[in-house]
């Protein structure tokens, strides 16, 4: 009855997941703080509170994300690509292609039936294919991330946005706002610009099997629906848990395998 945990410290959000017998008994998503250690502590405290546990009850914990080396309470640090592969497989067992859009990077991966990475590729320049891009644009537009995703469905003539530079894209949006372009068309242009950049990555790994998306952007229906059109495939939705915590779930699953000798949690 070992209780294990995973902690994913990303550039925008930090996530923690506590697993008991292959079931999530606690999780938390918090805005990342300037120091990764503080972010991890806060996320884990949230997950522990959610599960009604104490830190000492965690048998093994793996850290991941860009701040993983700075987490104080972990037993091991593992790359986020490996964790997202594992987490995606747990969230959708049929997934063979995983798209993870994080705060500061974007990855497309192909995984085997056990969730191990077979092939992956990441974005190569600028923030314009990342969650940070959407966050900046939503702020300029004065809408929440959730609202931004919904704008695509309401648009009639989406704008073409500069999508190779976040700063220029921001300047573009301000200009469009000032010239009276409807917010729906601007929002749809933002989501489309994001989707177009992600589509290149997805197609470059030659997607096979079910496609699954992890990370916070998986909750942006505008990006997801446009991406589906661009790649001509459905992107499956997670039902077991929030796709944003996929990395932390993967870290927790790896912890479980560590404790239980590679026996799968599910």
If one asks whether residue 203 binds other proteins (CB under 8 A), the answer comes out as yes
Of 175, 209, 234, 240, the one binding other proteins (CB under 8 A) is: 175
* CA–centroid distance for 240 within its chain: 15
Bridge-based pairing state of the strands 106-111 and 95-101: antiparallel
Of 60, 90, 133, 176, the one binding other proteins (CB under 8 A) is: 176
If one asks whether residue 232 binds other proteins (CB under 8 A), the answer comes out as yes
Q: How many residues sit in the footprint of other proteins (CB under 8 A)? A: 25
Contact code string over 107-126 relative to other proteins, x by CB under 8 A: -----------------xx-
For residue 73, what is the DSSP state? S
Which residues are 241's β-sheet partners?
none
Return the number of other C-beta atoms located less than 10 Å from residue 17's C-beta.
34
Contact code string over 151-170 relative to other proteins, x by CB under 8 A: --------xxxxxxx--x--
Nearest one of 60, 50, 10 to 32, comparing CA atoms: 10
Buried b (16+ CB within 10 A) or exposed e, 182-195: bbbbbbbbbbbbbb
Distance CA 7, CA 69 (A): 11
> 81 vs 186, which CB is nearer to other proteins?
186
The answer to whether 197 and 106 are in contact (CB under 8 A) is yes
> 28 vs 169, which CB is nearer to other proteins?
169
Torsion angle, alpha carbons of 23, 26, 11, 264, to 10? -20
Part of the chain binding other proteins (CB under 8 A), chosen from 3-11, 43-51, 148-156, 230-238? 230-238
Part of the chain binding other proteins (CB under 8 A), chosen from 68-76, 85-93, 199-207, 251-259? 199-207
Footprint of other proteins (CB under 8 A): 124-125, 159-165, 168, 171-172, 175-176, 179, 193, 196, 199-200, 203-204, 229-232
């Amino acid at each position: 009855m070992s209780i294990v945990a995973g902690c994913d410290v990303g550039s925008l959000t930090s996530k923690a997941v506590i697993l008991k017998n292959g079931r999530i008994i606690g999780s938390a998503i918090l805005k990342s703080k300037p120091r990764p250690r503080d972010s991890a502590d806060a996320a884990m405290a949230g997950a522990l509170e959610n599960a009604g546990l104490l830190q000492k009850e965690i048998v093994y914990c793996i850290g991941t994300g860009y701040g993983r080396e700075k987490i104080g309470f972990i037993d091991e640090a593992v790359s986020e690509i490996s964790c997202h592969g594992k987490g995606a497989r747990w969230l959708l067992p049929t997934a063979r292609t995983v798209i993870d859009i994080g705060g500061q990077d974007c990855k497309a991966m192909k995984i085997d039936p056990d969730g191990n990475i077979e092939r992956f590729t990441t974005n190569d320049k600028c923030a314009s294919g990342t969650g940070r891009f959407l966050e900046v644009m939503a702020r300029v537009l004065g809408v929440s991330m959730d609202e931004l995703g919904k704008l695509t469905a309401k648009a009639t003539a989406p704008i073409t946005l500069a999508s190779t530079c976040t700063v220029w894209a921001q300047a573009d949006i301000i200009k469009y706002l000032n010239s009276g372009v409807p917010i729906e068309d601007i929002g749809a242009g933002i989501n489309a610009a994001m989707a177009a950049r992600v589509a290149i990555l997805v197609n470059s790994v030659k997607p096979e099997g079910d496609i699954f998306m992890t990370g916070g952007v998986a909750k942006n229906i505008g990006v997801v629906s446009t991406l589906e059109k661009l790649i001509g495939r459905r992107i499956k939705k997670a039902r077991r848990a929030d796709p944003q915590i996929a990395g932390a779930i993967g870290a927790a699953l790896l912890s479980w395998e560590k404790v239980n000798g590679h026996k799968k949690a599910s």
